[in-house]
Each structure stands twice: as C-alpha cells, then as structure tokens.
Chains A and B, each alone.
Chain A
Amino acid sequence: MLKFKEYACPETLEEAYGLVQKKRNIVLGGMLWLKLQDRTVGTVIDLQKLGLDTITEDEENYYIGSYVTLRDLEIHEGLNAYTKGAIAHAVEHIIGIQFRNCATVGGSIFGRFGFSDVLTVFLALGAKVELYKNGIVSVEEFINFPRPLQDILVRIILPKNVDGAVYMSTRNSATDFPSLTCAVAKVSGEYRVSIGARPMLATLVTDEQGILKDGITKESAESFGEYVASKVTFGSNMIAKAEYRQKVCKVLVRRCLNEL
C-alpha cells in the first residue's frame, strides 16, 4: 500500500520540478499502479493544475499532455484517424472505462513498465517525450534514462510522419495484463516494430535487412515476423513462457503487417 504524508498540487512546472528533486517525493499520475505498491513516500505531487490534460496539434505534430487520460486517447477522433485506430486498440483492453478515465498517458510512459501497451504503441509510432529539464528526446532514448528520473514529463509529441499503424496484443483473459504486445508502424517510409510485455520493456526492431524493401507480401510479412522473433529477447513469468512469447511474436508481427 502507498503511504505518504503530504499532498502537493503545484501551480507551475518549476514548482513541480523543485518538488521532485527530493527523491522521496513522487508524481501521482493516475495513482493506479502507484497505489498498489508497498511504498512509503514523502509528498505525492499532483500535476492537475498545470493544464497538461489536453491534446492539441499543429501542422507537424500532435501534442499529448502527460495528464491526458487513456480514455481521452481512446476516443480522440483526430489522433485515431491519424494512427488508423492503433492508439485506441492499444488501450481498449486495459481494465475498463473507469480505470482508463483515471490512468494518465504520462504515468504509463514515465513509469516505463514492461507490460505497457501505451509504451509499445508510442515507441513504434516514433513519438518523443518532452521533459521539463532534459528537453525533447525520442521514446527509444527515454526508455534507457536512469531511474528514478527527477524530472517532469510535460507532454508526448507525435510527429505527423506516420503512414499507417497497427496494434495487436494477446492476453490470457480479457482485461488482464498482456502476454505480448506488438505495434507496427510505417514512419517516414521506415517500418518500425515494437514488441512489449516480453515481459521486459518494449523494444524496437526496424527492417535493417531490407526484408520489406519490395513491399508487404504474404511471404515478406512471414519472413519479417520470423526475423523480429529471432532478434528480440523474451523471458518467462507467471503469464507466459519465453518460447510461447517468441511464437506469438512471429504471428502478431505478420498479422500487423498484413493489416498495415
């Protein structure tokens, strides 16, 4: 159970940043995963007054505030038309509507959880994160940032260079944690495959061998699925064995490519 003494609701990013400089303090996000942890912290920091709960766009990017909920992502027409529903598909199996009205995209990304559907899809889409002091970095780079990271995730930036995206996952039962997550996107002409819930953090594979250089066919999709499954490291836990995940990976990549 999460234990804490103080609740802070800063009114500026600078104030929030000052608060996270103490290692015992933590940003709340949606507080869903955090609440289930056996953990004692000093002050919980609620960013709800910082106006980070909106999705905006300009000609080059979508800007998704870190306090945007998973439900907001799911029902945002522009974002889902742009990603061909991939973002909605990535979140729609996460518990239920009430949960997704609480959980924030920032909490999912900043937490860098192995089981994260959200991280998987944004990694494939070539998204970036904007941190208050560390600036703008790609999700790929952000995954390897040190923990704990004493910074504030301001927003996710999704460049408008995606030309198709598909998301699929497998679960042992509906609304459970995924046993494998897979997102495939074509970004600036490059095929990007993200595999998560391995059960380790999502990882990115691109078409370095040119398997898809002549386009997606039944054969090239099959080959690329085998390639991704051979490149990615899988592990075992109570949800699935590594061998199972490897076989499922091959199939999900192929299916995603065929739908792209």
Chain B
Amino acid sequence: MEISMTLNGRKIKASIEPNTLLIDFVRAQKCFSVKRGCETTNCGLCTVILDGKPVLSCSILAARCNGKTVETLEGLQEEVAPFTKFLAEQGADQCGFCNPGYIVNFAALLRENPDPTDEEIDFYLSGNLCRCTGFESQRRAFRNYLNYKKEQEGAK
C-alpha cells in the first residue's frame, strides 16, 4: 500500500506492507536514533512525536500515520541541542542506549510544559526506562538545564 507523511519536515511517499510498524518504517528512512528496546511497550526507547504527541513507534502501524507528521531525534537536533550537553555533564548516558527516547520525550514535555517541576519531570518520563543510572542523573541534568534556562532568561 502507498502512504505519505511528513517525516522530520520532509514530505515523503512510500510503498509499504500493511503490517509495517512505524519503527521499521522510520529506520528504513535512515532515522537510526529510533531503536527497539523492550518491544513490549514498556521502555520508551522507540519514542517519536506523531502529530505533536510522543508515542511508541514499536506499537503503531506505519499505515496509520498516512497523512500525518512524524518527528524523530534526527529532526529535533536544533530543539534538543541546548539540553543534551547537560545530560553528558551528568554522565547520564552511561551506555547511551536509552538516550534518544529520553531526549525526544523530554522535548515533548517542554512543548507541553516549558517549566516543569521535578515531580512533573518524573511523571512525564516514567515511560522511559534506563537500566544504568537509576534516573537520578537524568533528573539532575534536566533540572540543571531548566535552572540554566531561567538564569539566561533572567539576565536578558
């Protein structure tokens, strides 16, 4: 079947099998940041933004995304650049496997809520699992970034 969508700002058309999952489709489009972690809808590693909302690409058919807008980490580079260095500073990417899902979902959180509390960050990111760090370093990194952003805005 034929589908078309806007992937990372680029309009594309493709011929797919009906059972193609969105994760496999975007990887075939060279969006390799989107990865399989658990494949049981638990880990959040395959997170992409579909029509503005973070979703699990491992559990959505590409066919359902016909006519929609999909964003992966590849298309969010400019938006996420300010906070990824805070993750690196906190050593929050030990093995790094969970990072793309974390970053995309944190970007989605900031779109919904530009100034989240620590509780709101924990709540929003509860669908992203990290098996190296215990989540503390990610939380510190995001808090440091938000504090830095406030300082920058206050200095203007």
Contact = CB atoms under 8 A, between A and B. Distances in A.
Nearest to B47: A98
Given A4-B19, A95-B42, A175-B42, A102 B55 contact: yes
A36 B61 contact: no
A225 interface: no
Given A4-B18, A101-B54, A96 B128 contact: yes
A203 to B, nearest CB: 27
Interface in B103-139: 105, 108, 123-128
B41 A97 contact: no
Interface residues of A, number: 26
A128 B96 CA distance: 47
A92 B60 CA distance: 21
Contact of B126 (A6, A28, A175): A175
Contacts of B56: 32, 98-99, 102
A7 B18 contact: yes
Contacts of A46: 61, 63-64
B42 A7 contact: no
Interface string A167-203: 0000000110000000000000000000000000000
A7 B108 CA distance: 29
Contacts of A138: none
A96 B126 contact: yes
A14 to B, nearest CB: 21
A4 to B, nearest CB: 6
Interface string B44-65: 1001001001111001110110
Contacts of A36: 40-41
B1 interface: yes
Contacts of B108: 97
Interface residues of B, number: 26
Nearest to A31: B59
A31 B62 CA distance: 12
Interface in A14-38: 28, 30-32, 35-36
B23 to A, nearest CB: 12
A3 interface: yes
A98 B54 contact: yes
Contacts of B59: 30-32, 35, 102
A71 interface: yes
A223 interface: no
A6 B53 CA distance: 27
B1 A98 contact: no
Contact of B63 (A7, A99, A101, A102): A7
Contacts of A175: 42, 126-127
A5 B18 contact: yes
A80 interface: no
A48 interface: yes
Given A36-B40, A97-B54, A98-B127, A31 B60 contact: yes
B105 A98 contact: yes
Contact of B124 (A44, A48, A97): A97
Contact of A174 (B60, B64, B126): B126
Contacts of A48: 64
Contacts of B50: 101
A250 B63 CA distance: 47
A4 B17 CA distance: 10
A98 B126 contact: no
A160 B41 CA distance: 34
Nearest to A95: B127
13 contacts: A31-B59, A48-B64, A71-B53, A96-B125, A96-B126, A97-B54, A97-B127, A98-B47, A98-B55, A98-B127, A101-B50, A102-B56, A102-B60
Interface of A: 3-7, 9, 28, 30-32, 35-36, 44, 46, 48, 71, 92, 95-99, 101-102, 174-175
